[in-house]
Amino acid sequence: MAELGHPTRLGVYRYLVKMGSTPVVVGDVQQALGVPASTLSHHLGRLARVGLIRQRREGRVLYCEAQYDKLQTLLDFLTDECCEGQACLTSTRCCD
């Protein structure tokens, strides 16, 4: 969760998730988010190290894609902990 706590990394991850299972060229991510190349490289590396994204190089082109199994693990953790030990504050319990 710490890696998604940074606004740039969260923006990158959200962008990749919105692209679905299609790998995205890093240059397209950079253009869409307006992030300098060196900054983007740093943030992509951190997301890849914790398994939230996968990077694949074909020649000079670097592709990235979200790893949905890690996202599902995170979502499962959050919903399992919903309202644990106290009355639920939402109209419907999120983990039902």
Q: How many helices and strands (H and E) does the chain possess?
A: 4, 3
Pairing outcome for strands 24-25 and 53-58? unpaired
- pLDDT tens digits in sequence order for the chain, 96 residues long: 788 889 999 999 999 999 998 999 999 999 999 999 999 999 999 999 999 999 999 999 999 999 988 888 888 887 877 776 676 665 554 544
Q: Is residue 65 in some structural domain? A: yes
- Residue 23, domain CATH: 1.10.10.10
For the chain, the domain total comes to: 1
* CA contacts within 13 A on the Cβ side of 33: 25
